[in-house]
Structure 1
Amino acid sequence: MEPSQSSFQNVIDQIVAFATLYGFKILLAIVILIVGLWLVNQVVKMLSTVMNKRQVDRDVQPFLLSLVGAILKVLVLLSVASTLGVETTSFVAIIGAAGLAVGLALQGSLANFAGGVLILTFKPFRVGDLITAQGFTGNVEAIHIFNTILVTLDNRTIILPNGALSTSPVTNISGKGTIRVDMVFAAGNSNAVDAVKASIKRVVDACPTGLKNREHDILVTKLTELAFHFDVRVWCNSADYWDTYYFVHEGIARQFGKDGIKGPEPSVTVIGDFSSVGKLK
């Protein structure tokens, strides 16, 4: 029994020595872990409240909150490991190397993600807006974190990566709510200018989508040997741009015919001596 009692006593002594040496560190690490995780949750909640008050897009919030939470939890775990006496330098180096490798592998996706965050945060355009970007014109159907869905006027779906979209020029046609439709028409210079302007004005006044509280312009912009060129500028709501454009074009084509307005007539100037034409030898 004595050997057994001696072995048992050795175990007890080792436990006491371990508890004496590491007990305080373990207790402190547990406290740091509990308090740290509680603080992380509080920070995430506070950040969520701030985002809601600043109306940050709800598509961005979950990812940003989870990203911030994950980073803070990693810092808490590193603090716990450091408290227990574990060397954290190698862990930090491994995490940094892994982050660099992932960043290099996903640099295109990360650029699109960053672009999506910028678009959803600063809102240069919104869902439903008519925009021109990357050579395409259409209505914004959806804004995702990595790409934006555009539906063109002929009902094609265009997927634009947010990375390029956030760093290139974008024309937001719907941004102000109203837009001016600029058109150019030509009439032969045999017509009276006032008659042509009156004919165009009849169409503009009859346009159902033209704004009645805005002044529309009918201006002579260019004179050539064959024609007068008129700038016609009609204000409308942004959503009615193409309806206005096509109505005015078709209306002027019909109205010119009713009013007898002639189009430019090409002329041919012949230079030479034709006095001998038709003479027989």
Structure 2
Amino acid sequence: MEEELQQAQAIYDTLIEFAVTYSFQILGALIILFTGWWMAAKIGDIVENLMTGRNIDITLSRFTGGACKIIVLALVIIIALGNIGISVTPLIAAVGAVGLGAGLAIQGMLANYAAGFTIIITRPFVLGDTIQVRGVSGVVDKVMLPYTILIDEDNVHIQIPNKLIVGEILHNSAEQMLIELEVGVAYSSDVDAVIDVLQQAVKAVEGISDEKAPAIGVDNFGDSSINFGVRVWALTTRHFEIKYALNKAIYDALKRAEVEIPFPQREVRML
């Protein structure tokens, strides 16, 4: 019992001595830490708002602001640890060793982060652009370090790992998407008259791009029809809506103009 009391007294004396010796240093480190945390958040917000105010891409602005915050916070932590007499050199070495092991274990995730960093710096697309990659298309909603989120016309959120975007063939049509149609008419039809009918039908549909004129002309010659191609640009968010409206407008226009739309026919002779 007496030995236990002596041990408890020794521990108590050690704690008191430590508190008396290092209390002001610990208090100073805490003040430095909390002040630095507040300053890091403010600096990050200032950098982000400054870049946004100069019409720099919002994704790049957020990334730069967050990076500034992390850098300032890391410096503050080093200063706070140094204030209480802790050397950060062994800590940095330990963190580096742990980081190397973790990096080997999560190579796929790191590849996504590296690809996301490349996308943010090179900016092959920005928010609101319509992109198509690996057979998937949609409007860019968010660009994060590990992944990019697209939204299609059905309001489905498509999450694509960034490593599947960098290095792939990327189609970027800004805010619009191409609509391609094929219309077949009889060989007895007047080609110029049919083109005029198609042009009038396309003009009657709302939502067609004013910046890029529709392209209408003879595409190919089928077995039983002259096939006309119709290419127009429209907002990605209304792609199918405008496509269906175009089909109806073209059909109604050809019907009014009494242009024959032939169907495939085969002639079979019995010997």
When the two structures are superposed, what TM-score results if normalisation uses the length of structure 1? 0.63
Letter in 2 for 1:135: G
- Taking a change above 3 Å as real, the CA distance of residues 90 and 142 of structure 1, as seen in their structure-2 partners, is closer
CA distance in 2, matches of 1:64, 1:168: 27
State the match for 1:268 in structure 2.
Answer: 267
CA distance in 1, matches of 2:73, 2:106: 19
Q: How many residue pairs get matched?
A: 239
Alignment of 1:23-34 (within 5 A): none
Letter in 1 for 2:195: K
Report if the CA contact (8 A) 1:209-1:243 is conserved: no
State the match for 2:164 in structure 1.
Answer: 164
Report if the CA contact (8 A) 1:191-1:262 is conserved: no
CA deviations over 1:28-80 (Å, ceiling 9, x no partner) = xxxxx9xx999999899777655544446454345423432354356657988
CA distance in 2, matches of 1:214, 1:92: 56
Report if the CA contact (8 A) 2:78-2:88 is conserved: no
State the match for 2:70 in structure 1.
Answer: 67
CA distance in 2, matches of 1:50, 1:42: 12
Letter in 2 for 1:125: V
CA deviations over 1:126-181 (Å, ceiling 9, x no partner) = 0x4433233222233433343233233334332222332344333233x1x55553
Structure 1 vs Structure 2: percent identity of aligned residues? 23
Report if the CA contact (8 A) 1:44-1:68 is conserved: no
Unaligned segments of structure 1, at least 5 residues = 1-32, 275-281
CA deviations over 1:227-271 (Å, ceiling 9, x no partner) = 21112123445554433322212222333333242224323254x
State the match for 1:199 in structure 2.
Answer: 197
CA distance in 1, matches of 2:146, 2:211: 41
- Secondary structure of the 1:250 match is helix
Letter in 1 for 2:188: S
CA distance in 2, matches of 1:97, 1:218: 63
- Taking a change above 3 Å as real, the CA distance of residues 70 and 193 of structure 1, as seen in their structure-2 partners, is same
CA distance in 1, matches of 2:38, 2:172: 39
State the match for 1:189 in structure 2.
Answer: 187
Report if the CA contact (8 A) 2:215-2:232 is conserved: yes
- Secondary structure of the 1:190 match is coil
- Secondary structure of the 1:251 match is helix
- Secondary structure of the 2:165 match is helix
CA distance in 2, matches of 1:125, 1:147: 14
Shift of 1:100: 0.5
Alignment of 1:85-234 (within 5 A): 91-121=91-121, 122=123, 124-126=125-127, 128-173=128-173, 175=174, 177=175, 180-211=178-209, 215-234=213-232
- Taking a change above 3 Å as real, the CA distance of residues 169 and 184 of structure 1, as seen in their structure-2 partners, is same
CA distance in 2, matches of 1:39, 1:140: 35
- Taking a change above 3 Å as real, the CA distance of residues 67 and 239 of structure 1, as seen in their structure-2 partners, is same
CA distance in 2, matches of 1:135, 1:199: 34
- Secondary structure of the 1:97 match is helix
When the two structures are superposed, what TM-score results if normalisation uses the length of structure 2? 0.65
CA RMSD between the two structures: 4.2
